[in-house]
Amino acid sequence: MFFIFLLIFTLIFNSHILASENIFGLHLSQTEDIHQSSSIINSQNGDWGWVTIVIKNDQLDINTWQDFFNNCRKYHIIPIIRIATTGEKDYWKIPEYSDIDQIIYFLNSLNWPTKQQHIILFNEINHGNEWGGAVDIKDFTEKSFYAAKKFKEVNPNFFILSSALDLAAPEKPPQFKSAENVYREIILLNPIYFNQIDGLASHSYPNHGFIGTPNDTGRHSIHG
């Protein structure tokens, strides 16, 4: 696939400045899509736009990812890397601490195209199928806090984004948890969690069913 969707997420920062004034980007499904997407991301005389892309812990080929970063530098594109595990049945496997360490050291071994190195910790963990089949905010909080702290210890240039949530998810555990309850639970479990986080990723889509208009407002719109 060329790309999955336009990059529609918001970064809420703790006294950090974007590395680029270009707010547009794409989500890529594979590293080679960078060649076709560059002209879209930096169209209309834009420069240093963004891509998000997932790296799984069974895809740690140094030549593939260094080539991707080299092309990001060539095309003036800032990568945002979302770390993931691997699929199992109909859900994503829960990360082990060894998985987290492996991916941190791998990403730190690469020559990035920008000084700030943007990382998203996992994905929509208020969906059970994104975390071993059942929502587990305690496990997510412990492991993502560990990951954020470890990334910074290894290299302070890592810019850490907490997992984007599905803003339209209902409160129906163990399969779903609402976004507001996720944040409340994280704070109760670890009051200093967000001290380790540089920003929040937000999946702000027109939901339900990805149906809506650019003028819609509220949590289930692109203004979510």
Asked if residues 30 and 56 have their Cβ atoms less than 8 Å apart, the reply is no
- The span from the CA of 136 to the CA of 205, in Å, is 24
- The span from the CA of 52 to the CA of 118, in Å, is 9
Sequence length of the chain is 224
In this model, does residue 112 exceed pLDDT 90?
Answer: yes
Residue at 55: amino acid letter: I
Q: Which candidate, 86, 181, 90, places its Cα nearest to that of 141?
A: 181
Joined together, the tokens standing for residue 79 give: 């990568």
Residue tagged 């696939």 (tokens): 1
End-to-end CA distance of the chain: 27
- Give the number of other Cβ atoms within 10 Å of residue 129's Cβ: 16
Per residue in 139-188, pLDDT tens? 999 999 999 999 999 999 999 999 999 999 999 999 999 999 999 999 99
Q: What is the pTM of this model?
A: 0.90
Per residue in 12-37, pLDDT tens? 444 344 567 788 899 999 999 999 99
Q: Which candidate, 76, 84, 79, places its Cα nearest to that of 31?
A: 79
Phi, then psi, of 162 in degrees rounded to 5: -70, 155
